[in-house]
Structures are given as structure tokens and as C-alpha cells.
């Protein structure tokens, strides 16, 4: 691919980790398409002010046809970062409703699957692609009272391992990331005692910053990442040592 400008799609790009990834990949020289169910407004800016985006599209990743339709507006895509996600229900698992369980799995897991399936054909055809799925430490360890979220993220790690192996000789590298608590709007909705528990498990005794996650994504999206696929990369301040 040489020095050709690459096109990246970032889901969940309106805020938090997705937005940090959009800014970072824009800085890396990519054309960046943001997909999100909400417009980027968390910092009081309108979409047009986000120069990081080549284009921003309203897409619900849990809707497979919406993902396919949006792809037709992007054309060639080289990099996919699946960051769209929700915390889901914060409660003992026996109190979780059918609806909350399904919605969490539909967005965090099926949304990731939908987007990977929508981009893979053309990546395989060109023999180059980078897919980065934002999973979570919750998917490795399980966080109490976050059963749907933990299950969805464990499934994203498993999905990544499986697809990474399927595409291993196609030039399309698929990796996941397992962050511990990162300072984003997502945590504003997390119950304080859950947040406190999660920080207490981090040896560095602090939350991570979205830019720290974006730096890892930047490398995973690059040519320099060349001998890793199906892996789950830790970014947890030392919480996970495996």
C-alpha cells in the first residue's frame, strides 16, 4: 500500500474512546469516517466543527442493514475500529430484564460482528486490512453486577480470536483491546461503587485516558503491526498481567 492515504471507520466516534481514536487516526493521516447513533456534541461542538471526520454518519451498529448501507457511502475502507458500546444494566444478574440483556449483546457483540462482516470482503480482496475491536477487562475477568456487559465483551474477545484465525493469511489483522476504566462519558453512568471497585483493582491506582487507548489503536491500525492477529491487548494499568 506504500504511503497511500488509508480510510478508517470508527464506530462510537461521537465521544470517549471512539472520538480519541478518530482524532488520532486523523493525525496519523487517515481519512476518517465516524459512525455513531448520536451526533458528536459532548464537547458543545457541532458535527461540522469536527475536522477530524471526513464524514460523520448516523448508524446504529446493531442494525445490520444500516451498517451495510453506510458502507456504500464510504467506499474503500482499510481500517475498522469498533468502539460503539453501552454499559448495559448495572445490577445483580437475576434482575436483568430480557430487553436490557438483548440490547447490550445486540450493540456490543452483534454490532461488532455486523461491522466486521460489512467491511471484510473488500479488505480480503485488497489483501490489506486492520480491524480493532474495543473489548474490556470485564470480558477477561468479569465485573460483578455487569453480567451482560462482561458477557458481551468476553464474546468480542472470542469473536476476534476466531476471525483473526480465519483471516490470518489474507493480510487482514484483527485484534481486540481490553481497557480497564478509562475517563470517558461512559463512566458518568456507572454507579460510583462500581467505579470505585474497578479503580481499586488497578495497580497504577488511576483511570486511563482515551488518548492512551488511541495510541495503542494507532499502532494496531498500522503496517508496523504485522505479526499479531486474534490477540487481546491489555491496557489496564497493570490490572491484567495475562
Ligand X SMILES: NC(=O)c1ccc[n+]([C@@H]2O[C@H](COP(=O)([O-])OP(=O)(O)OC[C@H]3O[C@@H](n4cnc5c(N)ncnc54)[C@H](O)[C@@H]3O)[C@@H](O)[C@H]2O)c1
Binding site for ligand X (CB under 6 A): 11-12, 14-18, 36-38, 59-62, 83-86, 107, 111, 134, 136, 179, 181-182, 184-187
Sheet containing 7-11, strands listed edge to edge, beginning at the edge strand earlier in sequence: 55-58, 31-36, 7-11, 79-82, 129-134, 172-179, 232-235
Nearer Cβ to ligand X (93/170): 93
Nearer Cβ to ligand X (13/167): 13
129: cell is 486490512
To ligand X, the closest distance from the beta carbon of 140 in angstroms equals 11
Tell me how far apart the alpha carbons of residues 57 and 134 are, in angstroms, rounded to a whole number.
20
Nearer Cβ to ligand X (21/128): 21
To ligand X, the closest distance from the beta carbon of 138 in angstroms equals 7
Radius of gyration of the chain from its Cα atoms, rounded to whole angstroms: 17
To ligand X, the closest distance from the beta carbon of 125 in angstroms equals 26
Residues annotated catalytic, as ranges: 149
Nearer Cβ to ligand X (58/91): 58
To ligand X, the closest distance from the beta carbon of 219 in angstroms equals 17
Q: Where are the alpha helices (DSSP H) in 106-222?
A: 111-126, 137-141, 147-166, 192-200, 210-220
Q: Which residues contact 176 (CB under 8 A, 6 or more apart)?
A: 132, 133, 134, 135, 156, 157, 160, 231, 232, 233
For residues 35 and 59, the answer to whether their CB atoms sit within 8 Å is yes
The distance in angstroms from the start CA to the end CA of the chain is 34
Nearer Cβ to ligand X (96/107): 107
For residues 38 and 107, the answer to whether their CB atoms sit within 8 Å is no
Amino acid at each position: 500500500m506504500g504511503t497511500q492515504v488509508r480510510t478508517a471507520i470508527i464506530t462510537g466516534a461521537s465521544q470517549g474512546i471512539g472520538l480519541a481514536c478518530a482524532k488520532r487516526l486523523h493525525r496519523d493521516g487517515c481519512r476518517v469516517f465516524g459512525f455513531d447513533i448520536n451526533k458528536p456534541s459532548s464537547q458543545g461542538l457541532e458535527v461540522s466543527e469536527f475536522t477530524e471526520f471526513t464524514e460523520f454518519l448516523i448508524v446504529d451498529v446493531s442494525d445490520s442493514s444500516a451498517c451495510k448501507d453506510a458502507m456504500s457511502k464510504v467506499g474503500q475502507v482499510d481500517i475498522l475500529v469498533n468502539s460503539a458500546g453501552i454499559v448495559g444494566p448495572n445490577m445483580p444478574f437475576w434482575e436483568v430484564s430480557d430487553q436490557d440483556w438483548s440490547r447490550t449483546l445486540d450493540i456490543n457483540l452483534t454490532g461488532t460482528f455486523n461491522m466486521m462482516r460489512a467491511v471484510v470482503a473488500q479488505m480480503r480482496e485488497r489483501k490489506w486490512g486492520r480491524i480493532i475491536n474495543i473489548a474490556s477487562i470485564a470480558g477477561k475477568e468479569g465485573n460483578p453486577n455487569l453480567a451482560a456487559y462482561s458477557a458481551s465483551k468476553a464474546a468480542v474477545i472470542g469473536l476476534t480470536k476466531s476471525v483473526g484465525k480465519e483471516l490470518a493469511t489474507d493480510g487482514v489483522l484483527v485484534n481486540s483491546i481490553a481497557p480497564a476504566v478509562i475517563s470517558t462519558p461512559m463512566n458518568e453512568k456507572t454507579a460510583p461503587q462500581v467505579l470505585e471497585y474497578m479503580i481499586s483493582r488497578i495497580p497504577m491506582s488511576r483511570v486511563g485516558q482515551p488518548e492512551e487507548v488511541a495510541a495503542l489503536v494507532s499502532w494496531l491500525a498500522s503496517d508496523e503491526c504485522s505479526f499479531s492477529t486474534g490477540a487481546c491487548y491489555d491496557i489496564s494499568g497493570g490490572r491484567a498481567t495475562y
